[in-house]
A = this chain, B = another copy of it.
Amino acid sequence: VSIVLGPNHYGKAETRLVRVTREPGRHVVEDLNVSTTLTGDFAASHLSGDNSNVLPTDSQKNTVYAFARDGIGSPEDFGLRLARHFVESQEPVTAARVSIERYGWARLDVDGSPAPHSFRRAGGEIRTATITHGDEGTWMVSGIRDLTLMNTTGSEFWGFPRDRYTTLPETRERILATALDARWRSVTSPGGERIDWNARYETVRAHLLSAFADTYSYALQQTAHAMGSRVLKHLPEIAEIRLALPNKHHYLVDLSPFGLDNPDEVYLAGDRPYGLIEVTVQRDDVPAAPQAW
């Protein structure tokens, strides 16, 4: 017959791991949500329920916890260790992907001093990493999610085409707000030198925020492009960056029925619908890597 098994993979999603490193007088918390995905020769399981090639997802979960015993360091390093392990130890596995969310914890400040072992969740913002390793190569994608940003001025929107269905007035003054979702692929290190992924993350994050704040914006597209290109300009070790930015609309409320003006002060924060801008900014001298995403 002409019906065939196509691409397939499997794994364990959302293994919740918290690691406490107990340095004297100063604990460190690493809080991760780890998902593993294996690709390889699993046809027999699909076709006949023969699981001789299928390492249980329960074992993958156990591996995440066991590997954490030796430390995490960065999501990227931890994920790469895991991905290599699955490919090297399981003959049918040709590639492994490890996707990690990292939740931040901020040290409490008590009576002016940093607390040794007390923390609060630094809510919202999530750091991500997707490590893909296999026969065809190794790719490192890092990211940030759910970081909500707002400029209260410095944003216009006009000059757009008007068709039969266009009623939107042009504006020279609006709130620009978004929930940042950015992922960037690092140029793979050829010599295998050690990379400080945590420092790199902080640097990328700072450039994204600076570009958001510094760009006088005529379109969210322009802001998105400015954020991405600023990262690439400053970090030659980043090959490409992808941004998905919802336009979190803030509508100026018409107060005139109540006899009031509204000089750009009172806004309704809308839920749905929302604009959505998606863009890739990339180096044209670095090969594309669709497998990384």
Residue numbers of A with Cβ under 8 A of B are: 1-22, 27, 29, 31, 35, 37, 42, 45-63, 65-66, 68-69, 89-90, 105, 108, 110-111, 115, 117-125, 146-154, 156-168, 175, 209-210, 212-214, 217-219, 221-222, 224-225, 229, 232-233, 240, 246-247, 250, 253, 255, 257-285
Q: Is the CB of B13 within 8 A of A276?
A: yes
Q: Is the CB of A46 within 8 A of B154?
A: no
Q: Is the CB of B266 within 8 A of A152?
A: no
What does DSSP make chain A's interface, helix, strand, loop or mixed? mixed
Name the contact of A18 in the complex, choosing from B156, B221, B267, B273 (C-beta under 8 A). Answer: B267
Q: Is the CB of A166 within 8 A of B3?
A: no
Q: Is the CB of B3 within 8 A of A168?
A: no
Q: Is the CB of B280 within 8 A of A7?
A: yes
Q: Once the chains are docked, how many angstroms separate the CA of A253 from the CA of B165?
A: 13
Q: Is the CB of B16 within 8 A of A268?
A: yes
Q: Is the CB of B46 within 8 A of A221?
A: yes
Q: Is the CB of A221 within 8 A of B118?
A: no
Name the contact of A166 in the complex, choosing from B2, B29, B62, B279 (C-beta under 8 A). Answer: B62
Q: A105: nearest residue on chain B (CB-CB)? A: B150
Q: Provide a sorted-by-A list of 12 A–B residue pairs whose CB atoms are within 8 angstroms.
A: A5-B279, A6-B281, A10-B276, A10-B278, A21-B265, A37-B276, A48-B218, A61-B273, A69-B260, A117-B154, A120-B209, A121-B124
Known A-B contacts A117-B154, A124-B124, A213-B118; A160 and B56 likewise in contact (beta carbons under 8 Å)? yes
Q: Once the chains are docked, how many angstroms separate the CA of A253 from the CA of B278?
A: 29
Using Cβ atoms and an 8 Å threshold, which residues of chain B touch A49?
156, 217-219, 221-222
Q: A52: nearest residue on chain B (CB-CB)? A: B159
Q: A215: nearest residue on chain B (CB-CB)? A: B49
Name the contact of A279 in the complex, choosing from B19, B46, B120 (C-beta under 8 A). Answer: B46
Q: A271: nearest residue on chain B (CB-CB)? A: B271
**A274: min CB distance to chain B, Å:** 5
Q: A166: nearest residue on chain B (CB-CB)? A: B59
Q: Is the CB of B90 within 8 A of A175?
A: no
Using Cβ atoms and an 8 Å threshold, which residues of chain B touch A209?
108, 110, 118, 120
Q: Is the CB of B274 within 8 A of A14?
A: yes
Name the contact of A90 in the complex, choosing from B163, B265, B266 (C-beta under 8 A). Answer: B163
Using Cβ atoms and an 8 Å threshold, which residues of chain B touch A210?
110-111
Q: List the 9 closest A-B pairs by CB distance, nearest first.
A: A123-B124, A49-B218, A6-B280, A123-B123, A121-B148, A118-B213, A46-B225, A8-B279, A57-B275
Known A-B contacts A118-B150, A160-B55; A276 and B22 likewise in contact (beta carbons under 8 Å)? no
Q: A286: nearest residue on chain B (CB-CB)? A: B2
Name the contact of A42 in the complex, choosing from B1, B153, B221, B257 (C-beta under 8 A). Answer: B221
Q: Is the CB of B225 within 8 A of A166?
A: no
